[in-house]
Amino acid sequence: MRRKLAMMLICAISVSAFSGCGKSEATEDKGDATATENTIFSGELEENVTIQVLENDTAISKGYFQQLIDAFNKEYEQYGITAVDANMDQYLDLANDGPYGYGPDVLYQANDVIMQYAQGKHILPLPVEKLECYSQVPKSAWQAYQVDIDGQTYTCGVPVNVQCPMLYYRRDLLPEDWKDNWDKDSNDVPDMVENWNDMYAFSVDRHNENGDTYGYMKSLYDVYFSSGFLFSYGGYIFGDNNTNPEDIGFSAGDSAKGAWVLSQLASTMNEDCIDDTITTNAYSKLADGTYFATMSTPDTYTTFFDELVNEYEADGLSEEEARAKAEENLVMTGIPKLPESGDLKEENPKLIDSKAMGGVNGYAISSYTKSPNACLAFVDFATKYDMIMLRNETLGISPAREDVSNEIGGLSESIYEKLEKGNIVLMPSIKEVAQIWTPGQTFFTDIAKDAFRSDSEKKYKDIDSMRAGLEEMCQQIHDAIFTLE
Amino acid sequence: MIKSNSAGKIIDTTLTYVCLIAVAFIFFFPCLWIVLASFSKSGSIYSFDGFFPTSYSIHTFKKLFTDTTMYNYPRWFLNTLFVAVGSCVLGTLLTILTAYTMSRFDFKARKPMMKSTMVLSMFPSFMGMTAIYILMTQFGLINQIWGLILIYAAGAPMGYLTQKGFFDTIPKAIDEAAKIDGANSAQIFWKINLPLSKPIIVYTALTSFTWPWSDFILPKLLLKEKDLYTVAVGLMSLDETEFARFAAGSVFIAVPIVLLYFCLVKNMVNGIAEGAVKG
């Protein structure tokens, strides 16, 4: 018995001895944010180091990232600083992998992701005012990366591009007589891409002409895209400029009108709008002409474009001809205006601007990096005018820098203006935002399902019941946030 | 009487064949579908005409092996092969040794060890994933293909009971005869029992190979770098628009398993036959 006990003790001691081995970063106290900022970013570059950069997949596949690191490595060759591809999945788990030394040094992510890491102190607050891009990026974009701790504001990311929903449509699928019948204001822009009332009417017509084709199609279940309709009529996510999770505002103002607009749009679609199907099939369905229009973010332009090129090539065009034709016919434009009344069947409605949920993608620096100053130098380099301009040329992003946006003009400038005007509602940068998605999906799914239910089975029969549904959704979000806290 | 018997036999045979064909079709259809999808020209699942692609091409297979900027399938394939072969060799050796020891040697801790392993093997392997992750970080084996091999090989002997059952069927009298002729324990194992155990070795090798070949959870947990991914993890990381590439990758991953099966099944049958004659 005594021998057995001794053996057990030896085993226990061995296990605890082993568990003490290895790196100790996981338990290191990262300390106060102010101290970190002042002491870590001393300005003295760490020499002869390799920094791992996690970039966006599209930037890698289109070759932009290679150009960026080549240019950076050439510039910083004298210090022996080399930037390399972190070679990781873009949906990494810095909170779990970082402490053990397996995360990247610099990461490119959306503001909501970065700010969740910021709250867990997995990324460093940055001395952003030292960066070249500081004065060129609007205040609203910087705010997306700011966090208040003990009354002090820290900025944890550097904005690169603004993401917001855009309308994609095929010019060659417009009716031949669109200039006569679908351009009331004779501005050479089809009415159906200018306002939702005409988009609704066109969708009904197109489907009636051919039961296999549709006008506007989008997964309504997608909170990111659907919530913009609520915001346009006075809804919001969190109060106090998206910082107060006690105040949940999806049902505020006349947001129920937005839900009503969605329910009317659902009636012109098929049942794929209930779940995520349209989000994934839109590329090929827009290319083969089944859908006339859909909504997506600017970074998916190349995917829509490639699908359309494939379709034209399958029709017998050469690659060059197919690309030229796709460039001419695939249009990415702003979201149409909404009727103030919320009634898509209203003739000559008073129109209001559409708002949309958006995000700011940018760079952040991991708290676990051993070369913070070299990382900051990389971020500074990657956000300079030349690199952001190159990024736009290669990837078609809408830059957060004002000078680049002005230079490019067109859509980028209009997105920038929307951001400035507040028509792009940036995703909140607090961790509670994680609780809005599931209740939101449930509500929007029911709105979409109602279009395919008989009148007696509909969950939301009128605008008042939609308002009640939105209030219930807010309550569910509130419960989720404060139960899980 | 004879006539009605033969009619009954025909009906019975026909019904049996209909049932077998129906069941075979149910199981074969998904395989057929994924094979056809891998040859889809459009590359999108949404351009299918009903269940099947509208046009076919080998373009996706070409792309699978040549377009490696984002998705390095050849590299993933080699990683998987390395992990599976390593785990197979090491795992088979450890399992056979464990099973033989438990079958042939009588020692004090034998029964408690057998009971413990039986209880432990009842728990699903993913239960220990968090502990494995933390241990592997402490040993610096994250992002190490060898780390995976060690875990698979170390876990393999937990399922030694089948192999022990096989060794139990080989008469101990053979061991005793060899001992009388002057053979030691190692010689008895290598020269007498091992040649008689070909079928179980083949079975063990096959199962030790297929588990790491198709496993997803462990490689996903331990391999962070894309270039170290196994095929299962790599295919899961494909973009939603890459369906044809996913299908082609899934079809190609089946090739080694099928080849291995056809190569080993012959040895397995031969081994069983040899064992029967000698037994």
Domains of chain B: 7-62 (no CATH), 70-237 (1.10.3720.10)
Q: Assess: ipTM above 0.90.
A: no
A89 to B42: CB separation less than 8 angstroms, yes or no = no
Tokens of B229: 């991914």
Of A89, A100, A310, the CB nearest to B137: A100
Helix, strand, coil tally for chain B in percent (to 5): 80, 0, 20
Q: What tokens appear for A474 in the block?
A: 């807010």
Distance CA A379, CA A388 (A): 11
Contact call for B46 and A280, based on CB within 8 A: yes
Q: Is the Cα torsion angle A31, A32, A33, A37 positive or negative in sign?
A: negative
Q: Where are the alpha helices (DSSP H) in A409-462?
A: 410-421, 437-450
> What is the C-alpha separation between B210 and B213, in angstroms, rounded?
5
Contact call for residues B273 and B253 (beta carbons, < 8 A): no
Domains observed in chain A: 50-162+358-428 (3.40.190.10), 166-356+432-483 (3.40.190.10)
Q: What phi, psi does A366 have (nearest 5°)?
A: -65, 140
Tell me the sheet residues that pair with A216: A293
Nearest neighbour of B227 by CB, restricted to A21, A87, A285: A87
- Paired tokens of A75: 């510039």
Name the A residues in 278-337 with CB < 8 Å from any B CB.
280-281, 283-285, 288, 303, 307, 310, 314
The residue of chain A with its CA nearest to that of B223 is A88
Which residues, 6 or more positions from B238, have their beta carbon under 8 angstroms from its beta carbon? B71, B245, B246, B249
Looking at beta carbons, which residues of chain B come within 8 Å of A87? 225-227
Whether residue A482 contacts residue A440, with contact meaning beta carbons closer than 8 Å, is answered with: no
Collapse the DSSP code of A385 into the 3-class scheme (helix H, G, I; strand E, B; otherwise coil) and give the result: helix
Interface touch B241/A310, C-beta < 8 Å = no
Residue of A nearest to B220 (CA): A89
- Structural contact between residues A122 and A98, judged by C-beta atoms closer than 8 angstroms: yes
Considering CB atoms only, which of A92, A284, A303 is closest to B47? A284
- pLDDT (tens, 9 = 90+) of chain A, 485 residues, equals 455 545 554 544 444 444 444 343 433 444 444 455 557 888 889 999 999 999 988 889 889 999 999 999 999 999 999 999 998 887 788 888 888 888 899 999 999 889 889 888 899 999 999 999 999 998 888 988 988 888 888 999 999 988 889 999 999 999 999 999 999 989 999 999 999 999 999 999 999 999 999 999 999 999 999 999 999 999 999 998 888 999 999 999 999 999 999 999 999 999 999 988 898 889 989 999 999 999 998 878 888 998 899 889 988 999 999 999 999 999 999 999 999 999 999 988 999 999 999 989 999 999 999 999 999 999 999 999 999 999 988 887 888 998 998 888 878 778 878 887 888 998 888 888 889 999 999 999 999 999 999 988 999 989 999 999 999 999 999 999 998 65
Is the CB of B224 less than 8 angstroms away from the CB of A97? yes
pTM exceeds cut of 0.90: no
> Cα–Cα distance between A47 and A79 in angstroms, integer?
5
